[in-house]
Structure 1
Amino acid sequence: MQKPEPTAFPVPLPPSGSATEEDVDRSDPVYRHWLSEAVAKVHADANRSADTHLLSIPLPASWDVDLYLKDESTHPTGSLKHRLARSLFLYALCNGWIRPDRPVIEASSGSTAVSEAYFARLIGVPFVAVMARGTVQAKVELIEFQGGRCHLVDDPSEVYETAARLAEETGGHYMDQFTYAERATDWRGNNNIAESIFRQMTRERYPVPTWIVATAGTGGTSATLARYVRYALAETGICVADPENSAFFPSWRDSDPSVTTSMPSRIEGIGRQRVEPSFVPGAIDRMMRVPDAASIASVRVLERLLGRRAGASTGTGLWAAFRIVSEMRERGERGSVVGMLCDPGERYVEKYYSDTWLAEQGIEIGPYVRRLEEFLGGALLS
């Protein structure tokens, strides 16, 4: 393609020739045309997508506390991470980090990789997901269905270094969701998840949530929620529920960003062995550590409430939301609590919905199921 002639200026340019004057032009019209088309395709995907539903969870009306789940499983790639992946791709494209025919590489346990594979295929670049070998096969198949390739590692703590190395070796771009999640999203608005929740709550009896409960994988969602409620002058508290074997909770509790853990989280998509750069502890009002058995019990009970299965990360947040509802009842408070339905449970049939897997892991969900049944009452679960 012939480079276009420079645009004429309305007044003469000053003569060049100064010994210190330099002019380096790295513009490439072919690349800029590709970039414009890539950004337009990502925008078009957002324009085609309706907003996700806000589901009302049945609770006794006499409690005067309402509970909702923001159903992020209805995105085109089936999870909360679709929003993140779109933001990360726009951020990287506009920064000039993604180039034609060069791979995008990500360290991901699954759902982010599924969504990023979708956007990579949308703009026509290769995608490689670096993930732990123990990730459920269903997620591997979803990534491959979206056109991505999976690079499995035995030690989950090595995914970051491996992804960076592969990007360097191939001349590709390491997306690094764990660093850029909190800055790629426009937290002031632009239909981010917080703005969407507040808009959908406007006609509810308690339209301003007392609490919003999130979970942390990168920390980007909790950062977006916390920043938005402060920007919107809302008195909503932000609670982050964290699973076992995650560094986020002890780091937040002890104000120690150097905390690490020796074991990876068993709840896919959330919990990390280190504190990720996108985790913004100062913006969070409360944290809860949730036992893995309670997380899984919660999604088993949720299936009876809604007739739908959800991933265990949903259960981690739901257990925390139920605790907050119980505390509000005890104090005689009225209000609303919003949690997240992060992804569908069909991805985890071989894990969280398998009694065999639970037995192998030594996870006993029975006591937590009974606590939830007692809390909710038989009528709601019949």
Structure 2
Amino acid sequence: MNTRQPDRAWVLEAVRRIEADFQRSSDTHLIPLALPGFAGIDLYFKDESSHPTGSLKHRLARSLFLYALCNGWLHEGSTVVESSSGSTAVSEAYFARLLGLPFVAVMPATTSAEKIAAIEFQGGRCHLVEDPTTIYSESQRLASELGGHYMDQFTYAERATDWRANNNIAEAIFGQMRLERHPEPAWLVCSAGTGGTVATLGRYVRYCRHATRVCAADAERSVFFDHYCSRDPQLTLAQGSRIEGIGRPRVEASFLPDVIDAMVKVPDRWSVAAMHELSRRLGRPVGGSTGTNLVAALACMERMRAQGETGSVVAILCDSGQRYANTYYDPAWLEQAGLSCAAEQRAMSAWLDGGAPPAALAAGWRLAGELGA
């Protein structure tokens, strides 16, 4: 961490620029999705793809920059470094350019050319490493060498966001739901990448004394679900998640299981199937993590339907599917990755129209907390 005393005038101007950028952007949309098979239960998607950098991570990057500025960690000319090959890097590069700061994303050498181009388009530079497990230590080394600051999203995501107010995503959702048929959601559903957004949702509903419950959706290759069940902080996996932006091979400091009411671990093939079916129904492509969220939202709705409850469920639409034209939307890529899902998509469609949860999914997903047996 850089120890140079920042120039106060520069910091105040930097904060003003970030806040002005926020004021220029209206809040993201809340999109209802009609589901004939779930009478009395309304499903909405909080569309985070409409941010200037196209994803939920725009909120996180804004919070991380404000947190670093107000803690005195950034100064004029600081090089900002982050461990990310995806949406967080794109969003942080945007804010670094807004402040006139250089930005470096540390990422595996296998990162796709499309992702590198997206970060470079926002003015960032990509630093590639051969061993993906070294991105954290390499980020710290690079920040020290350049006299800059390592943002470290996986440590600071949950604490950088003002979860009480400041138009965080939870406050925005409740404000937008105010005139709906069921204004207080029964469930909020969000997948976990750093865990910061889930922590914000969980803290906010408690702070505002809402009856709303929070469900975290997890990817197949991730330790978060098992950590939620066991509370073992040492869990690790040798493989990274195939659902971009969510799931982690280690327990991150920003993942707070105690503010989560339930979890759903979704098989990757079903996440991709749900992604494709939701894209068909919305008329535009969404990303794989949004498919994961849809499956988890349906698990919550199934529990409500079985118990005769009515109400609303809000899930997060994390990013646009346009970023994945060469992966999740490429049949050849899906086949090679073992994620072809035509049969699963048909089963998802039947479920959304009123059928029962697909037997293959019910046998493969894992439920915990209030959704567990």
Name the structure 1 match of 2:364.
Answer: none
The structural deviation recorded for 1:161 is 1.1
Q: What is the deviation of 1:116?
A: 0.4
Q: CA deviation at 1:162?
A: 1.1
> Does 2:183 align with 1:213?
no
Q: Kindly state the Cα deviation for residue 376 of structure 1 after the two structures are TM-superposed.
A: 2.0
RMSD (Å) for aligned C-alpha atoms:
1.6
Shift of 1:253: 1.1
Q: Distance in 2 between matches of 1:126 and 1:62?
A: 49
1:251 pairs with 220, 227, 235, which one? 227
Give the SS at the match of 2:316: strand
Distance 2:158 2:322 in 1: 28
Give, in angstroms, the shift of residue 62 of structure 1. 6.4
| Structure 1 runs of 4+ with >6 Å offset | none
- AA matched with 2:265: R
Secondary structure at the counterpart of residue 214 of structure 1: strand
Distance 1:365 1:322 in 2: 18
Shift of 1:141: 1.1
Deviation of 1:61 after TM superposition, in Å, equals: 8.0
Of 139, 148, 151 in structure 2, the residue corresponding to residue 175 of structure 1 is 151
Q: What displacement does 1:333 show?
A: 1.1
Find the counterpart in structure 2 of residue 298 from structure 1.
274
Q: CA deviation at 1:325?
A: 1.7
Is 1:366 the equivalent of 2:366? no
Determine the C-alpha separation between the residues in 1 that align with 2:287 and 2:194.
17
Query: Where do residues 1-382 of structure 1 align in structure 2 (5 Å cutoff)?
Result: 31-60=7-36, 63-377=39-353
The 2-side partners of 1:273 and 1:32 are apart by: 39
Percent sequence identity is 59
Q: For residues 353 and 89 of structure 2, what CA distance do their matches in structure 1 show?
A: 39
Structure 1 residues 217 and 130, CA gap change in structure 2 (3 angstroms): same
Structure 1, gaps ≥5 residues long: 1-25
SS in 2 for 1:238: strand
What is the CA–CA distance in structure 2 between the aligned matches of 1:27 and 1:167, rounded to whole Å?
16
Q: What does residue 15 of structure 1 align with?
A: none
Q: Distance in 1 between matches of 2:111 and 2:42?
A: 35
State the SS of the aligned residue for 1:371: helix
**One-letter identity of the residue aligned with 2:329:** Y
Give, in angstroms, the shift of residue 337 of structure 1: 0.7
| Equivalent-residue separation in structure 2 for 1:62 and 1:318 (angstroms) | 14
Structure 2: unaligned runs, 5 residues or longer: 355-373
Q: Which of the two has higher C-alpha Rg? A: 1
| TM-fit CA distance, 1:54 | 0.2
Q: TM-score w.r.t. structure 1 length?
A: 0.89
Change (3 A) 1:166 1:27: closer
Range 135-144 or range 295-304, more displaced: 135-144
Structure 1, residues 33-58: CA drift from partner, whole Å, max 9, x if none? 22121111111111111000000011
Label 1:159 to 1:241 Cα distance change in 2 as closer, same or farther (>3 A): same
